């Protein structure tokens, strides 16, 4: 999985602070001046009073790639956002290449036999898909044969209020692993570009009361995950501040949010299934293109 922040409201925290604070004065936002302390104070007040209109102002546009359609089925349920996804009607997959699908870490952890069974099934469905295309079945119908684990990419535009809600529900340890990793990666990105807005962001157990099935038991894990992400972000903040407009910074978050498969196991399965290449790891990367 890789998330790329393509665009975001420049100086969004300063902008919404001007717009918000100016409402109680005679000075319009275009003339209103704020400093760093004003931004921090206004963000704190806005969080405490749940001033949703404030957080409607800044918008983030980001790309998510190397994710399954199981992930996107969940992701696009967030309707207070705009989504554009790769079409399987106009693109084809290669059944000879195992990189066309996602392998859940839970299957890999079960061992060689379980993983082989899963991979063979994915390849079989892809072969069926190709045969249907050769028989002049329209791509929009042939794709019905493909598994939900097929890789895809999409682009999403969300305002900050929608992102905060997304984090509330999708960063919960009760959520599905792939969309949870996406949520925490998005949180890391937002802490980098809007540190004051997202200072206390996270799942419901962090921001208020647990609403998952864990009944608060996973709050410790969520807190630890956020601390690790904050350390990673803060370590790279000087580098981000130093790069120029349209340059980017890349953070590898695999150790925090992903899974590294055993290379020996990968080689064993690769040989037994006579595959050219296989990657069973779930890598998580974040790229932020600076405004």
So what's the pLDDT on residue 95?
Answer: 78
What is the per-residue pLDDT for 208? Answer: 78
All residue ranges of the chain with pLDDT < 70 are none
pLDDT (0 to 100) of residue 148:
96
Rounded CA separation 147/138 (Å): 17
Q: Over the stretch 86-123, which tens digit does the pLDDT of each residue have?
A: 999 999 888 777 789 999 999 999 999 999 999 999 99
- Neighbouring CB atoms inside 10 A of 185's CB total 24
* All structural domains of the chain with their residue ranges: 2-103+152-261+283-289
82, 83, 89, 92: CA torsion to nearest 10: 160
User: Residue 94 has what pLDDT?
Assistant: 82
pLDDT at residue 61 in the model: 98
The alpha-carbon radius of gyration of the chain (Å, integer) is 22
In the numeric block, which tokens belong to residue 181?
């990793």
Annotated catalytic residues are 170
The pLDDT, as a whole number, for residue 267 is 96
Cα–Cα distances (Å) from 27 to 19, 21, 24, 31, 39, in that order, read: 10, 9, 9, 6, 17
Helices 112-134 and 263-272, packing angle to 10 deg: 50
Domain 2-103+152-261+283-289 top-level CATH class:
alpha beta
For residue 15, what pLDDT is reported?
93
Give per-residue pLDDT as tens, 137-173. 999 999 999 999 999 999 999 999 999 999 999 999 9
């Amino acid at each position: 999985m890789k998330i790329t922040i393509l665009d975001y409201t420049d100086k969004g925290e300063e902008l919404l602070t001007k717009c918000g604070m100016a409402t109680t004065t005679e000075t319009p936002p275009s003339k209103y001046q704020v400093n760093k302390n004003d931004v921090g104070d206004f963000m704190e007040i806005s969080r405490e009073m749940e001033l949703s209109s404030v957080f409607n102002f800044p918008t983030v546009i980001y790309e998510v790639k190397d994710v399954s359609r199981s992930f996107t089925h969940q992701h696009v349920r967030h309707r207070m956002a705009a989504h554009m996804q790769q079409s399987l009607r106009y693109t084809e997959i290669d059944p000879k290449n195992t990189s066309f699908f996602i392998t859940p870490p839970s299957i890999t952890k079960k061992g060689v036999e379980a993983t082989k069974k899963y991979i063979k099934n994915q390849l079989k469905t892809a072969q069926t898909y190709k045969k249907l295309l050769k028989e002049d079945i329209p791509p929009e119908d042939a794709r019905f044969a493909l598994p939900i684990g097929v890789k895809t990419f999409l682009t999403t535009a969300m305002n900050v209020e929608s992102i905060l809600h997304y984090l509330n529900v999708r960063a919960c340890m009760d959520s599905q692993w792939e969309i949870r990793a996406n949520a925490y990666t998005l949180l890391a990105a937002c802490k980098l570009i809007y540190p004051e807005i997202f200072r206390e962001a996270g799942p419901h157990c962090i921001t208020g009361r647990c609403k998952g099935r864990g009944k608060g038991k996973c709050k410790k894990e969520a807190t630890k995950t956020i601390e690790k992400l904050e350390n990673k972000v803060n370590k790279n903040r000087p580098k981000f501040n130093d790069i120029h407009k349209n340059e980017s910074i890349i953070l590898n978050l695999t150790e925090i949010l992903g899974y590294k498969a055993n290379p020996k196991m990968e080689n064993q399965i690769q040989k037994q299934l006579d595959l050219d290449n296989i990657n069973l790891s779930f890598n998580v990367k974040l790229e932020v293109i600076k405004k």
